[in-house]
Amino acid sequence: MLKVVLSLISLSLIFSLTGCQDVQPPPDQQGAANPSPAEEAPMAQAVTRVGEAGAQSQPEATPAAQAEMTPAPEGQPAQKQPQAKPRKMNAGLRMARDKEAAKALRPKLGMEGAGFGPFALQVNVDDDGNYTGVTLYNTKVNDKMVDFVAGLDDHTEYVMVQNTDITDEQVARFAKLKFLKRLEISGAPISGACLVILKDFDKLEKLNLSSNPYMSLNHLPELPALTELNLLSSKGITDASIPKLATLKGLKSLSLYDSGITEAGAAKLQELLPDCEVSH
């Protein structure tokens, strides 16, 4: 019995001594919690490399930006900075400019007083003051107006003479306008004899001869650049004009509404000009 008691006392002392010692983590966890100096060095190098990579990723300044950031050396002229492109004039300002140009031109053309409405003369001008387009509308035509149109230069792309009393002889004075891309002589008492002047109009793309009751196409030349022809309400254009119209191989649009062309004639023209939209 005494031996048993002594054994129990010995075991109690052993357990007491063991509980007073510090508990140490397993060997594999000790290394993770407290890295050695040898392990700390690669980590520091990795942080340094990340910092260097971030510095290298910064975008380089463009030459223009460098010029702005770097002042010119003392004694030398300052470097010229790039200038922004000028903005285009908006539609409202262009219309106001065109209106003022027409207003200034009217007295020179004898377009004052009765018989000349507010829209009798309309012009388009570019930034340098050149006339790019001229319209005479619902007005009587005098020699000053004809001379002005006849004297336009190659800045002009179109001339429109609408619902006026212009004659074949006056239109014939436009012979030098070979640079035009668009021409309209509509609502006029012309016979078509004036069309002979178009023989050298190699850039003409659009031609409007509508509402000319006495018009014929006997003098219409071949126009290689012509894509649109308007003969609306020109009663003098009949089926006899079909051979002449068939020579205009570049046409894409031909308007024959209310003209003297018959339904059969329009169908024939559509066959002769397969790439053209014939409206009748």
Give the dihedral of Cα atoms 158, 214, 231, 257; nearest 10 deg: 150
Structure confidence at residue 191 as a pLDDT band (50, 70, 90): very high
* CA angle (134 as vertex; 257, 250 as ends), nearest 5: 45
* Percent of the chain whose predicted confidence (pLDDT) is above 90: 65
Instruction: Spell out the domain ranges in the chain.
Output: 91-226
What is the pLDDT confidence band of residue 26, given thresholds at 50, 70 and 90?
Answer: very low
> Mean pLDDT throughout 93-98?
94
Helix (H) or strand (E) holding 194: none
- Model confidence at 54: pLDDT above 90: no
The two three-digit tokens of residue 157, written as one number: 């792309």
Look at residue 219 in the predicted model and tell me its pLDDT.
96
CB-neighbour burial class of residue 247 (10 A; exposed 0-12, middle 13-18, buried 19+): middle
The fraction of the chain above a pLDDT of 70, given in percent, is 68
How far is 81 from 271, CA to CA, in rounded Å? 62
Residues 104-119 have pLDDT tens digits of: 999 999 998 877 888 9
What is the rounded average pLDDT of the residues 254-259? Answer: 98
Q: Show the tokens assigned to 65.
A: 């930006």
| 3 pLDDT tier (thresholds 50, 70, 90) | low
Rounded to whole angstroms, the Cα distance separating 245 from 248 reads 6
Q: Where are the beta strands (DSSP E) in the chain?
A: 121-125, 131-137, 158-162, 182-186, 206-208, 228-230, 253-255, 277-279
Q: What would the CATH number be for the domain defined by 91-226?
A: 3.80.10.10
